[in-house]
Amino acid sequence: MSDVVTPRSVADRNAPSGILLVHGAAHGPWCWDAFADRLTDHGHDVRAVQLRGHDQRTGRLWYRLRHYVEDVRRGAAEFAQPPTLVGHSMGGLLVQKYLEGNPAAGAVLMASLPTGGVTGLVVRLGMRHPLVLLRINATLRLRPLFGTTAMVREVAFTPETPQEVIDDCHARIRDESYLAFLDMLFVRPRPRRIATPVLVLGGERDGILTVGEVHRTARAYRTRAEIVPRMGHHMMLDDGWEKVADRIDAWVRQHRAP
């Protein structure tokens, strides 16, 4: 079962728009703390899903993507009206799968796993870090992807990101389900089934995705991607995250039902 974590500052249940934040692999609601507070300060009712097993405990996970989509569904059901869903990385894929059969006011895909699958990501990882990919497959765990602070910086941030941000993220990251990883290789979203308005955001210096992959995802949803200069993969934690939150605030207000 999932938990919906409500930020400390949420008190106004008459907020203009509901926003549900969906974290990515090996993370948890903690990655949205400052981001959620900023959106709350803009007047939104902001909540963050905690995908099952992502509660900071150690240990192996054996969940499938469909289990995580169910967690998103339960989180969205907590709102009186369908919220806007904001998904980061794997969370973006979960949002896309949710939208295939469920209502939403809108969706924001932040550095989302692409509509075309993750084969390209895995190939790039294997070319750059063959031993890391070998450890992932040998141990059936994704933790080696974030095993060192150097790896966290390379895949999630930029060379200029303050070290304390890297250290904090590295300390909080846990494992991810290997079965979910296998699902990512084969599960594809179906954008043609989705009529929900979608905002696609990417980081110029993303260490996991290419800018081209972000643009292809946007084209699949019949829109244009917005690429944030000098931003890494972790768009809710890297330098400049405030402008990402402010862009989402503006977009949600623009697409809010009358």
pLDDT in tens, 126-153: 999 999 999 999 999 999 999 999 999 9
**pLDDT the model gives residue 12:** 41
Length of the chain counted residue by residue: 258
Per-residue pLDDT band for 11 (boundaries 50, 70, 90) equals very low
Q: Which has more pLDDT, 256 or 210?
A: 210
pTM > 0.95: no
- Residue 234 belongs to what domain range? 3-254
What pLDDT shows up at residue 59?
A: 76
User: Which residue reads 């949002």 in tokens?
Assistant: 95
- At 168, the amino acid letter reads D
Strands (E), 97-194: 106-110
pLDDT at 6: 53
Is the predicted pLDDT of residue 39 greater than 80, yes or no? yes
Tokens of 59: 């240990």
Mean pLDDT of the chain: 93
Question: To which residue do tokens 């969940």 refer?
Answer: 63
What CA–CA distances, in Å, run from 172 to 78, 122, 152, 165?
Answer: 27, 23, 11, 11
What is the DSSP code (8-state) at residue 179?
Answer: H
> Looking at the predicted structure, is the pLDDT value of residue 188 above 60?
yes
Closest CA to 88 of 258, 231, 256, 254: 231
Confidence of residue 55 (pLDDT cuts 50, 70, 90): confident
Q: Quick check: 74 pLDDT over 60?
A: yes
Determine phi and psi for 246, rounding to 5 degrees. -65, -35
87 band by pLDDT with thresholds 50, 70 and 90: very high
Q: What percent of the chain lies above the pLDDT cut of 90? A: 89
- Looking at residue 10, its pLDDT comes to 41
Whether the predicted pLDDT of 109 surpasses 50? yes
Question: What's the total number of domains in the chain?
Answer: 1
pLDDT at residue 195 greater than cutoff 80: yes
Q: What are phi and psi of 45, to 5 degrees?
A: -90, 105
Helix, strand or coil for residue 48?
Answer: strand
Q: Residue 208's pLDDT is what?
A: 96
Residue 63: CATH number of its domain: 3.40.50.1820
